[in-house]
Amino acid sequence: MMASMMASLSTNWLTLSIFVPIVFGLIVLAFGSDERPGATRLLALIGAIVSFLVTIPLYTGFDATTADMQFVEKSVWIPAFAVYYHLGIDGISLWFVLLTAFITIIVVMAGWEVITTRVSQYMAAFLILSGLMIGVFVALDGLLFYVFFEATLIPMYIIVGVWGGPNRVYAAFKFFLYTLMGSLLTLIAFIYLWNVSGGSFDIRTWQMMPLDYTPQVMIFFAFLAAFAVKVPMWPVHTWLPDAHVEAPTGGSVVLAAIMLKLGAYGFLRLSLPIAPDASQAMGPFIITLSLIAVIYIGLVAIVQSDMKKLVAYSSIAHMGFVTLGFFIFNTAGVEGAIVQMVSHGFVSAAMFLCIGVLYDRVHSRDIAAYGGVINTMPKFVTFFVLFSMANAGLPATSGFVGEFMVIMGAVEYDFWIGMLAATALILGASYSLWMVKRVAFGEIANDDVRNLQDLSSREFLILGILAIAVIYMGIHPKPFADVMHTSVEALLQHVSNSKL
């Protein structure tokens, strides 16, 4: 009796994870105002915290010993086309739900004093976006996945277009068009799969359905059109630096920490299990693109003069590690890639927040506008150096764990691919240390730096929370890997057994 009661209470945790932030976002939008910014911000923070709390039972009640979907919810949505409101999580998707809810709290706190106009719209956009992104990670119906995947574009488009920099309209349109156009082929693939499966949008059914090699290749490239842009992979990455530079700090945080992961997650949930033979055949092609991103984009990051652009390009390089890990088809590579995604969520968020701290004071992202910041902001520089080291993959930080696992997996796959991937550690240290040296150390460069005020208690709290996450994951990554291990093994077993 008690077990059944607990089961009934836990059946809707995924729905709550999606719709609690959306509902709070609508409440903030309806009742918040610039005349009462304090109350509006507090309501948004309460909404973000409650939204995170309802995801906690997903972790505490998760069974890491099975690869089956858990917390499953299913009900009819569009009966005429057998479309279901079908949700579930496994060890691959769990961490991204928690990460999304966690980062939303950080973003609301980060915009507490910075955003002074249209406060309710700003906070509501992030809360609604949080719910939509969680929807992508838990959807088990193809059409439902597509609706959530595309709907995330709307609040992010508004965030960049309304609160962004001088070229915000251009950046917002470029972001929207790139990601929308890529996704249209995915919709065609979904319709094809619905047709050949006998009228089902169930993703698990698609994964178990045997397909000939040619249809698999077509489906793989249809998915690639959407997911490669979202990651983004080279050469369809050019929208990301523009979006990051023009987006407000919170927009850059969510874009790097969560939205890039939607594309990478698509490879794991759709491309590999639905088109396993095509995925293996196209593995060398994806590995080549990934290595170009790791090496070439790393070199591009070194020559950047804008801090935001530098970190944006470093994100592309780090996501190259992720796609590399997926397509070497071994446990170390795939688990390392997922760990890298989670770590990048913490580290990239922290890096963009650090840049936002400086920008709020000096109103410049140009590296040349700084120098000797440590003399006036020692607390800030402590965090800045830590996160930069994590961005470079320093051992004992989260940035090292995923990269090391992917490199080990790549060496197992092919020694020279592993060697090429390892150059990322050198390049990461180059652009990260070069930026830190010019911004933080040396003599005070100008009056703007001389007049800087160190971190406020709110800023210290935000960066401190992220620092704890980065160090804890770097020192004790086992809990993160344990949750995903069974699901990753099942995915790789499915891919290897499906070879024609």
pLDDT tens sequence across 182-220: 788 888 999 999 888 888 888 888 888 888 889 999 999
Instruction: Categorize the per-residue pLDDT at 236 as very low, low, confident or very high, splitting at 50, 70 and 90.
Output: confident
- Nearest Cα neighbor of 202 from 148, 144, 272 is 144
With respect to residue 152, please indicate whether it lies within any of the assigned structural domains.
no
Query: Which residue segment(s) compose the domain that 495 sits in?
Result: 282-500
Render pLDDT for 340-369 as a digit per residue (tens, 0 to 9). Answer: 999 999 999 999 999 999 988 888 888 888
Q: Which residue has the higher pLDDT, 4 or 434?
A: 434
Q: What pLDDT is stored for residue 11 in this prediction?
A: 65
Query: Quick check: 326 pLDDT over 80?
Result: yes
Q: b vs e for 53-85, b when ≥16 Cβ sit within 10 Å of the residue's Cβ?
A: ebbeebeeebebeebebbbebeeebeeeebbbe
Instruction: Categorize the per-residue pLDDT at 169 as very low, low, confident or very high, splitting at 50, 70 and 90.
Output: confident
Q: What pLDDT is stored for residue 499 in this prediction?
A: 58
Q: Is 442 exposed, middle or buried (0-12, 13-18, 19+ CB in 10 A)?
A: middle
DSSP string, 181-240: HHHHHHHHHHHHHHHHTTS--BHHHHHHS---HHHHHHHHHHHHHHHHHHTTPTTS-THH
Q: What pLDDT is stored for residue 500 in this prediction?
A: 52
With respect to residue 347, please indicate whether it lies within any of the assigned structural domains.
yes
With respect to residue 144, please indicate whether it lies within any of the assigned structural domains.
no
Query: Quick check: 382 pLDDT over 70?
Result: yes
| Alpha-carbon gap, residue 21 to 44, rounded angstroms | 9
| The residue count for the chain | 500
CB 138 within 8 A of CB 93: yes
Give me the number of domains the chain comprises: 1
With respect to residue 450, please indicate whether it lies within any of the assigned structural domains.
yes
User: Across the chain, what does the average pLDDT equal?
Assistant: 87
Q: What pLDDT is stored for residue 101 in this prediction?
A: 94
Render pLDDT for 38-92 as a digit per residue (tens, 0 to 9). Answer: 888 999 999 999 999 999 999 988 888 888 888 989 898 888 888 889 999 999 9
Query: Quick check: 178 pLDDT over 90?
Result: no
With respect to residue 206, please indicate whether it lies within any of the assigned structural domains.
no
Q: What pLDDT is stored for residue 115 in this prediction?
A: 79
| Predicted TM-score of the model (pTM) | 0.90
With respect to residue 289, please indicate whether it lies within any of the assigned structural domains.
yes
